[in-house]
Amino acid sequence: MKRLVGAAVPLLAALFAFLFGAIMLLAIGANPWDGLVAIVDGAYGDGDALATTAVKAMPLILVGAGITIAFRASVVNIGGEGQIVAGALLSTVVALALPDLPALILIPMVLLAGLIGGGIAGAVPGALKAYASVNEILSTIMLNLVMVQLMNYLLRGPLIDPIEVERGTRIPQTERLSDNAAMPTLIDGTRLHLGVVIAILAAIIAYIVLWRTPLGFRLRAVGHSPEAARAAGIKVKRHVTYALSISGSLGGLAGALLVFGSEGQRMVTDGSSAGFTGSAGFNGIVAALFGALHPLWTIPSAFLFGGLLTGATNMQRVLQVPAALAVALNGLVVIFVISSDPVRSRIDRFLSSRGELNETLKSEKPVDNQEIDA
Amino acid sequence: MKPKPNSRTFTRLLAVLLAFTFVVAACGSDDADSGDATVDTDLTVAIVAPSASEDLAFTQSMVDSVKAMGITPQITDGTFIVDDAAAAIRGYAEDGINVVIAHGTQFGGSLAEIAPDFPDTTFIWGTATDTQGLDNVFAYYPEADQGGYVNGVVAAQLTQSGTIGVVGPVQAGDAVAYIDGFAAGAESQGATVNITYTDSFSDVALAAEAAQAHLTNGADVLTGTAQMVVGAVGVASENDIPWFGTQANQTPLDEGLVVASQVYHWEVVLKEMFALIEDGTKGGQTFALTLENDGLVIEFNDGYELDGDTTKLAEDTIAGIIDGSISTGG
Amino acid sequence: MSEFFTLSVLVATLASGIRLATPYLIAALGETIGQRSGVLNLGVDGVMLLSAFFAYWTVLETKNLWLGVAVGIVVGFVMGIIYGIITVFFHATQGISGIGIFLFGLGFSDLMFQKQVGTPRPIKQLPDVSIPLLADIPHVGEALFQHNLLIYVAFLLVPIVTFMLKRTTFGMNISAVGENPQAADSLGVSVAQTRFTAILIGNTMAGLAGAALTLELGIFQANLTSGLGFIAVALVYFGAWRPVGVMGGALLYGLVGATVVQLKALQVIPRSVSDIASMAPALLTIAALIVLAGRVKAPSALTRPFSRH
Indicate yes or no: CB of C97 within 8 angstroms of CB of A334: yes
The answer to whether the beta carbons of residues C230 and C84 sit under 8 Å apart is no
pLDDT confidence of residue A8: 73
Average pLDDT, chain C: 93
Which of A54, A67, A10, A365 lies closest to A203 in space, CA to CA? A67
In the Cβ-directed half-sphere of B7, how many Cα atoms lie within 13 Å?
12
pLDDT confidence of residue A214: 96
Average pLDDT, chain A: 87
DSSP-assigned letter for residue A268: B
For range B107-123, the mean pLDDT: 90
Nearest to B214 among C3, C265, C271 (CB): C265
Q: Is 90 exceeded by the pLDDT of residue B80?
A: no
In chain C the domains, ranked by start, together with CATH numbers, are 2-292 (1.10.3470)
> Any idea which architecture A58-301 has in CATH?
Orthogonal Bundle (1.10)
For range B215-240, the mean pLDDT: 94
ipTM score for this prediction: 0.93
Q: Which residues of A touch C291 (CB under 8 A)?
A: none
What values do phi and psi take at A237, rounded to 5? -60, -45
Residue B193 pairs with which residues in a beta bridge?
Answer: B164
Nearest to A271 among B52, B78, B170 (CB): B170
Q: Is 80 exceeded by the pLDDT of residue A233?
A: yes
pLDDT confidence of residue C264: 96
Determine which of A17-21, A346-350, B128-132, B264-268 has the lowest per-residue pLDDT on average: A346-350
Q: Which residue has the higher pLDDT, B109 or B258?
A: B258
pLDDT confidence of residue B47: 96
Residue C130 pairs with which residues in a beta bridge?
Answer: C146
What is d(CA B73, CA A165) in angstroms, rounded to the nearest whole number?
Answer: 34
Instruction: Name the CA radius of gyration of chain C, rounded.
Output: 20
Q: Is 60 exceeded by the pLDDT of residue C148?
A: yes
Query: Which secondary-structure segment (H or E) carries C232?
Result: helix C228-238
Indicate yes or no: CB of A323 within 8 angstroms of CB of B86: no
What order do you get walking across the sheet with B45-48 strand by strand?
B74-76, B45-48, B99-103, B122-126, B137-142, B286-289
Q: Please report how the helices C169-179 and C7-36 are oriented relative to each other, as an axis angle in degrees rounded to 10.
A: 70
Q: For residue B206, what pLDDT band results from cuts at 50, 70 and 90?
A: very high
Nearest to A335 among C91, C97, C298 (CB): C97
Question: What size, in residues, is chain C?
Answer: 309
For range C283-290, the mean pLDDT: 92
Nearest to A335 among C101, C234, C237 (CB): C101
pLDDT in tens, A130-139: 999 899 999 9
pLDDT in tens, C207-235: 999 999 999 999 999 999 999 999 999 99
The answer to whether the beta carbons of residues C44 and C80 sit under 8 Å apart is no
Would you give the distance in Å from CA A66 to the centre of its chain?
8
Q: Which residue has the higher pLDDT, A268 or C200?
A: C200
Would you give the distance in Å from CA C117 to the centre of its chain?
26
Question: What size, in residues, is chain A?
Answer: 374
Q: Which residue has the higher pLDDT, C303 or A23?
A: A23
For range C40-65, the mean pLDDT: 96
Three-class SS of residue C189? Answer: coil
For range B198-206, the mean pLDDT: 94
Q: Is 80 exceeded by the pLDDT of residue A327?
A: yes
Indicate yes or no: CB of C104 within 8 angstroms of CB of A328: yes
- Enter the pTM of the model: 0.90
What is d(CA B55, CA B59) in angstroms, rounded to the nearest whole number?
Answer: 7
CATH 3.40.50.2300 residue ranges of chain B are 26-143+265-289, 145-263+296-323
Three-class SS of residue C75? Answer: helix
Three-class SS of residue C148? Answer: strand
What is d(CA C40, CA C34) in angstroms, rounded to the nearest whole number?
Answer: 7
Which of A310, A55, C226 lies closest to B76 in space, CA to CA? A310
What is d(CA B50, CA B107) in angstroms, rounded to the nearest whole number?
Answer: 9
For range B221-244, the mean pLDDT: 94
| Whole-number percent of chain B with pLDDT over 90 | 68
Indicate yes or no: CB of A263 within 8 angstroms of CB of B109: yes
Interface of C with B in 243-262 (CB under 8 A): 257-258, 261-262
pLDDT confidence of residue A349: 58
What is d(CA C25, CA C232) in angstroms, rounded to the nearest whole number?
Answer: 7
What is d(CA A154, CA B153) in angstroms, rounded to the nearest whole number?
Answer: 33
What is d(CA B154, CA B181) in angstroms, rounded to the nearest whole number?
Answer: 12
pLDDT confidence of residue C18: 97
What is d(CA B164, CA B221) in angstroms, rounded to the nearest whole number?
Answer: 5
For range A149-171, the mean pLDDT: 90
Under the phi-then-psi rule, with left for phi > 0, alpha for psi from -120 to 50, and beta for the rest, what region is B166? beta
What is d(CA A254, CA A178) in angstroms, rounded to the nearest whole number?
Answer: 18
Three-class SS of residue A297? Answer: helix
What is d(CA B330, CA B173) in angstroms, rounded to the nearest whole number?
Answer: 12
Q: Is 50 exceeded by the pLDDT of residue A356?
A: no
HEC assignment per residue over chain B: CCCCCCCCCCCCCCCCCCCHHHHHHHHCCCCCCCCCCCCCCCCCEEEECCCCCCCCCHHHHHHHHHHHCCCCCEEECCCCCHHHHHHHHHHHHHCCCCEEEEECHHHHHHHHHHHHHCCCCEEEEECCCCCCCCCCEEEEEECHHHHHHHHHHHHHHHCCCCEEEEEECCCCHHHHHHHHHHHHHHHHCCCEEEEEECCCCCCHHHHHHHHHHHHHCCCCEEEECCHHHHHHHHHHHHHCCCEEEEECCCHHHCCCCEEEEEEECCHHHHHHHHHHHHCCCCCCCEEEECCCCCCEEEEECCCCCCCHHHHHHHHHHHHHHHHCCCCCCC
What is d(CA C26, CA C154) in angstroms, rounded to the nearest whole number?
Answer: 6
pLDDT confidence of residue A342: 67
Indicate yes or no: CB of B106 within 8 angstroms of CB of A275: yes
Note the maximum CA span of chain A: 70
Instruction: Name the CA radius of gyration of chain B, rounded.
Output: 20
**What are the Cα distances from residue B74, in Å, to A329, B50, B77, B220?**
22, 14, 10, 42
pLDDT confidence of residue C303: 76
Q: For residue A352, what pLDDT band results from cuts at 50, 70 and 90?
A: very low
Q: Is 80 exceeded by the pLDDT of residue C155?
A: yes
Three-class SS of residue C147? Answer: strand
The answer to whether the beta carbons of residues A251 and A83 sit under 8 Å apart is yes
Amino acid at C47: V
Q: Of A53, A175, A316, which to mutate for an interface test with B (greatest number of B Cβ within 10 Å)?
A: A316
What is d(CA A211, CA A205) in angstroms, rounded to the nearest whole number?
Answer: 10
Indicate yes or no: CB of A341 within 8 angstroms of CB of C105: no
pLDDT confidence of residue A357: 35
- Burial B247-261, CB ≥16 within 10 A → b, else e: bbbbbbbbbbbbbbb
Which of B296, B290, B276 lies closest to B124 in space, CA to CA? B276
In the Cβ-directed half-sphere of B98, how many Cα atoms lie within 13 Å?
14
Measure the CA angle with vertex B209, ends B203 and B214; round to 5°. Answer: 130
pLDDT confidence of residue A163: 86
Nearest to C8 among B214, B216, B228 (CB): B216
Q: Which residue has the higher pLDDT, A105 or A14?
A: A105
Against chain B, the chains showing at least 3 CB pairs within 8 Å are A, C
pLDDT confidence of residue C27: 98
Indicate yes or no: CB of A327 within 8 angstroms of CB of C86: no
What values do phi and psi take at B223, rounded to 5? -145, 175
Looking at CA atoms only, how far is residue C130 from chain A in angstroms?
35
Q: Is 60 exceeded by the pLDDT of residue B132?
A: yes
Q: Is 50 exceeded by the pLDDT of residue B260?
A: yes
Q: Does domain B26-143+265-289 have CATH number 3.40.50.2300?
A: yes
pLDDT confidence of residue C139: 87
What is d(CA C7, CA A74) in angstroms, rounded to the nearest whole number?
Answer: 48
What is d(CA B60, CA B266) in angstroms, rounded to the nearest whole number?
Answer: 11
For residue B60, the chain C residue with the least C-alpha distance is C119
pLDDT in tens, B23-78: 333 333 333 334 456 777 789 999 999 888 887 778 888 999 999 999 999 999 88
Neighbours of B202 (CB within 10 A): 23
Which of B225, B76, B252 lies closest to C120 in space, CA to CA? B252
Query: Which secondary-structure segment (H or E) carries C130?
Result: strand C128-130
Looking at CA atoms only, how far is residue A276 from chain B in angstroms?
6
pLDDT confidence of residue B28: 36
Q: Is 90 exceeded by the pLDDT of residue C62?
A: yes
Q: Does domain B145-263+296-323 have CATH number 2.30.29.30?
A: no
Three-class SS of residue A103? Answer: helix
pLDDT confidence of residue B86: 87
Interface of A with C in 13-52 (CB under 8 A): 24, 28
pLDDT in tens, A279-290: 999 999 888 888
